[in-house]
Structures are given as structure tokens and as C-alpha cells.
Amino acid sequence: MIWAAILGSGLATYLTRSLPFVVGYRGRVPPALSRYLEALPVAIIAALVGPAVVLPAGATTHGAEPVAALVTVGIVVWRRSLLAGVAAGVATVAVVRLVL
């Protein structure tokens, strides 16, 4: 199942990368469709975040995840650094679990 998913996901991804190089077409992409496609990754990833914060596997540990999510947002906005945000979020979860 894991390997089927990896191969299937690889094929799906490659299709999105290669189709415009292979298939000829005329005209432009409608602006609304272009805006929809550009917003898709942010929407899907945000949709993954929501349940992971309010319903993490095995329930929240003393509310650590929502607090850590806010800390992560704050640090990434402030430092513009993915690594700093992840480190701060992970550390927040670890500290809450240690203390409570």
C-alpha cells in the first residue's frame, strides 16, 4: 500500500509537471482558474493543519498542540524562518508534556 501510494503519487505529480510540455493548447488560462490553482496548495496544507491541531492522533496532550500551533505561527511571522518555527513548535509541545 505504501509503495502503491508512492508510485501513484509520483505519477500524479509528474503528470502535473509534464502535461503542459507535451500537450499543445491555444489561448490563456482563465484568471479565476489560475487563482484557484495557485491557492490550492495553501488550502490543502492548511486543511491538514486544522485536524492535526484540534484532533491529533490520540487526542491533544493537555492542549499542547493548539498552543504550539500559535507559537509556530508567531515565530514564523516574526523570523520568516521555517526551521525556527518548527523548532519553537516542537519545543513548546515537549515543554507542555514535560510540565503537565
Partner 1 sequence: MLATTVVVGTTFGIVARQSGRDPLETVGMSLIVFAGAAQFAMLQLFAAGAALPLVIGTVLLINARHLLMAASLRPRLGRLPLVSRLAAAYVLTDESFAMATGWYRRGGTGTGYYATFAVALFALWNCATLVGLTVGGAIGEPRRLGIDFAITATFIGIVVLAVRRGSDVVVALAAAAVASALALAGASSVAVLTAGALAPVIAAARR
Query: Using the rule CB under 8 A, is 76 a contact of partner 1?
Result: yes
Packing angle, helices 31-54 and 64-79, rounded to 10: 140
For residues 9 to 48, the per-residue mask of contacts with partner 1, x marking binding by CB under 8 A and - elsewhere, is: xx-xxx-xxxxxxx------x--xxxxxxxxxxxxxxxxx
CA distance 17 to 100: 47
What distance separates the 2 farthest-apart alpha carbons in the chain? 62
Q: Identify the CA nearest to 61 among candidates 23, 87, 4, 99.
A: 99
Least distance from partner 1 to the Cβ atom of residue 61, Å: 9
How many Cα atoms occupy the beta-carbon half-sphere of 27 within 13 Å? 3
Least distance from partner 1 to the Cβ atom of residue 14, Å: 7
Query: Using the rule CB under 8 A, is 73 a contact of partner 1?
Result: yes
Q: Judged by CB under 8 A, how many residues of this single chain contact partner 1?
A: 70
Residue numbers of the site for partner 1 (CB under 8 A)? Answer: 1-10, 12-14, 16-22, 29, 32-57, 64-65, 68-69, 72-73, 76-77, 80, 82-83, 85-86, 88-95, 97-98
